[in-house]
Chains A and B, each alone.
Chain A
Amino acid sequence: MAMKNGSILEIAGLTKNYCAENGSIVHALQGIDLDIAANDFVCVVGPSGCGKSTLLRIMAGLDRQTDGVARYLGKPIDRPTPQIGMVFQEYSLLPWRTVIDNVGLGPEFAKVPKRQRLLLATEFLQLVGLERFAHAYPHELSGGMRQRVAIARALANDPDVLLMDEPFGALDAHTRILLQKELLSIWERHRKTIVFVTHSVDEAIFLADRICVMSGTSGRIMEMIDVTMPRPRERSNPFYGQLAERILRMLEGEVVKMGVL
């Protein structure tokens, strides 16, 4: 359980409305309350369009909420900060820069001298096993390798919190499982706080300490689920299947309500 005093991210009464193209008001998020403890791995699942990405973008300081507050270590988040990193689904690497220059981007913005920044970038490339590709360009890498680079780049900034917006969503199933395992091992060694948005229930159960299930219609949190299964988790564990079944049923109801089916 997250304890109040240990929380690194606090979200209280967070509401986000925006104007749709036809002029109607969309309630993307309504009164979201969420406390995330340091070193926690929280997954946010929900049907497409439920506002989970919006929630992440507000935590990153990229979007502004309509109401409520998001705090990092007690301070309201009103702009991006290097302490809160983010990994996007795809196309976030600068295509004209080599892999190593992409990974060194954060330190470069922080005006770290070139030599030091190269060392740093090499270190994090090694962490994701891509040091051999330091001088390749993003278009020469596979989708999975590109996401590894994106993760290395976020980590090279040494953030406390890593926000991940469906980072493995565009990958094939096999690569996806491989990267999930790599991410867990990085998380266990580096003890970052991770908030991970996904639409895959399987992925959420494999990764998360806690799963935040979002409603598709109201922009609210339906349920917070603690995943107590020991790590490393086996997909053959009967609890795994039962939990997946339970969450999927909740989401199914939501999808029907949204009128998507």
Chain B
Amino acid sequence: MRRLLLRALLPAITPLLLLAVWQVAAVRVDNRIILPPMMDVLHLIIHPTEDLLSMGSLLSNITISLARVMAGYLLAVVLAVTIGITMGYYRPLFRTFSLFFALFRPIPPLAWVPLVLAWFGVASFATLAGLEYGLWYMYLNNLKISMVFIIFIGGFYPVLTSTIQGVQSVRTTLLDSARVLGAGEMAIFTKVLLPAAAPAIVTGMRIGLGVAWMCLVSAEMLPGSLSGIGYLITHAFTVARTDVVIAGMISIGVVGAAIDFIFRFFEERTFSWQRRSR
């Protein structure tokens, strides 16, 4: 019982310590632009539906951001897993394309911004769909192509790399024994390669979603953006509302950690076979 309590308490120590230091420091500094009192920020977080800087609430901005990240991320996952499995399995394809992908990988997503702006400007998914008014226009106009592209770039590489690595490290004996048992090429893909590489793919997906989420702020700093948690932070900075900046940062952190936690939970339940079979 006591040990259980201790285990629940241990992870809470550092955040509590940080809050205490913050509170003391804020009182000492006594300048809400440099370091606002903890209670101000806490108030914002406890009331996530309150309108901020006439930009909508914390919650609505997070929702918009999540929609953007999901659009870019899902695109990245679909493409990266498909390309990764084929490249991992067919050596010639791997040799043909690995240099190509390696050249683009080190470019930080942020470095794409000028080029992406030149290409897509402020065009949104509403532009793509040919919408100029209405409810769907309102939703889709928030998904700027340039933002989704930046997030896509961020999410793509972790998924691609780990999918290729996952497929390439499938034991040859597994493939050989499936072939000897009469597996066709399709069965090899669906019944051996995909499940064997699944743990690596899902790990890549978790890391990819983390990176995609991190690209959010740079994506939402792009022109044409008038909403989203990243934009809220930059805008709050220009009007010297540091409390909103910090509340926004904390929400980004919390959402990111929550996503990571859900993924890990799913990973551990589904792939326990992998941990226990060396």
**How many A-B residue contacts, CB cutoff 8 Å?**
72
Inter-subunit contact A94/B174 (CB<8 Å): yes
Cross-interface CB contact of B177 among A82, A92, A95, A96, cutoff 8 Å: A92
Inter-subunit contact B273/A85 (CB<8 Å): no
The answer to whether A91 has its CB under 8 Å from any CB of chain B is: yes
Listed stretches A4-12, A104-112, A196-204; interface member: A104-112
The answer to whether A187 has its CB under 8 Å from any CB of chain B is: no
Inter-subunit contact A86/B187 (CB<8 Å): no
- A156 vs chain B, min Cβ distance (A): 9
The answer to whether A139 has its CB under 8 Å from any CB of chain B is: yes
- B223 vs chain A, min Cβ distance (A): 48
Q: Once bound together, how far apart are the Cα atoms of A62 and B274, in whole Å?
A: 27
Q: Once bound together, how far apart are the Cα atoms of A62 and B181, in whole Å?
A: 12
Inter-subunit contact A105/B181 (CB<8 Å): yes
The answer to whether A84 has its CB under 8 Å from any CB of chain B is: yes
Inter-subunit contact B180/A80 (CB<8 Å): yes
Inter-subunit contact B182/A92 (CB<8 Å): no
The answer to whether A216 has its CB under 8 Å from any CB of chain B is: no
Given the interface pairs A95-B277, A137-B273, the reply to whether A157 lies near B182 with Cβ below 8 Å is yes
The answer to whether B176 has its CB under 8 Å from any CB of chain A is: yes
Q: Once bound together, how far apart are the Cα atoms of A109 and B191, in whole Å?
A: 9
The answer to whether B3 has its CB under 8 Å from any CB of chain A is: no
Cross-interface CB contact of B173 among A88, A109, A110, A138, cutoff 8 Å: A88
Q: Which residues of B contact A154 (CB under 8 A)?
A: 180-181
The answer to whether B11 has its CB under 8 Å from any CB of chain A is: no
Inter-subunit contact B180/A109 (CB<8 Å): no
Q: Which of B144-196 contact A (CB under 8 A)?
A: 171, 173-174, 176-184, 187, 191-192, 195-196
Q: Which residues of B contact A82 (CB under 8 A)?
A: 181-182
The answer to whether A185 has its CB under 8 Å from any CB of chain B is: no
- B17 vs chain A, min Cβ distance (A): 41
The answer to whether B28 has its CB under 8 Å from any CB of chain A is: no
Q: Which residues of A contact B192 (CB under 8 A)?
A: 94
Inter-subunit contact A80/B276 (CB<8 Å): no
The answer to whether A117 has its CB under 8 Å from any CB of chain B is: no
Q: Which residues of B contact A61 (CB under 8 A)?
A: 179-180
The answer to whether A60 has its CB under 8 Å from any CB of chain B is: yes
Cross-interface CB contact of B182 among A90, A109, A140, A150, cutoff 8 Å: A109
Inter-subunit contact B273/A106 (CB<8 Å): no
- B40 vs chain A, min Cβ distance (A): 51
Q: Once bound together, how far apart are the Cα atoms of A88 and B179, in whole Å?
A: 13
Inter-subunit contact B181/A153 (CB<8 Å): yes
Cross-interface CB contact of A91 among B173, B271, B276, cutoff 8 Å: B173
- Interface residues contributed by chain A, number (CB under 8 Å): 29
Q: Which residues of B contact A140 (CB under 8 A)?
A: 276
Looking at chain B's contact residues, the main secondary structure is: helix
The answer to whether A81 has its CB under 8 Å from any CB of chain B is: yes
- A114 vs chain B, min Cβ distance (A): 14
Q: Which residues of A contact B176 (CB under 8 A)?
A: 60, 62, 86, 88, 92
Q: Once bound together, how far apart are the Cα atoms of A94 and B196, in whole Å?
A: 8
Q: Once bound together, how far apart are the Cα atoms of A105 and B277, in whole Å?
A: 19
- A254 vs chain B, min Cβ distance (A): 27
When C-beta atoms are compared, the residue in chain A nearest to B270 turns out to be A96
Q: Which residues of B contact A137 (CB under 8 A)?
A: 273, 276-277
When C-beta atoms are compared, the residue in chain A nearest to B177 turns out to be A92
- A129 vs chain B, min Cβ distance (A): 21
Contact with B along A39-83 (1 / 0, CB 8 A): 000000000000000000000111000000000000000001110
Cross-interface CB contact of A86 among B180, B198, B273, cutoff 8 Å: B180
Cross-interface CB contact of A81 among B178, B182, B276, B278, cutoff 8 Å: B182
Contact with B along A110-149 (1 / 0, CB 8 A): 1000000000000000000000000001111000000000
Q: Which residues of B contact A94 (CB under 8 A)?
A: 174, 192, 195-196
Q: Once bound together, how far apart are the Cα atoms of A147 and B132, in whole Å?
A: 66
Inter-subunit contact A91/B178 (CB<8 Å): no
Q: Once bound together, how far apart are the Cα atoms of A157 and B182, in whole Å?
A: 9
Ordered by A's residue number, 12 sampled pairs between the chains whose C-beta atoms are within 8 Å are A80-B180, A81-B182, A91-B171, A96-B195, A96-B273, A105-B178, A106-B182, A137-B276, A137-B277, A138-B277, A153-B181, A154-B181
Other 19 A-B pairs with CB < 8 A, given A108-B191, A139-B278, A140-B276: A60-B176, A60-B180, A61-B180, A62-B179, A84-B180, A86-B180, A88-B173, A92-B174, A94-B195, A96-B273, A105-B181, A106-B181, A109-B178, A109-B183, A109-B184, A139-B276, A139-B277, A150-B177, A154-B181
Residues of B within 8 A of A (CB): 171, 173-174, 176-184, 187, 191-192, 195-196, 198, 271, 273-274, 276-278
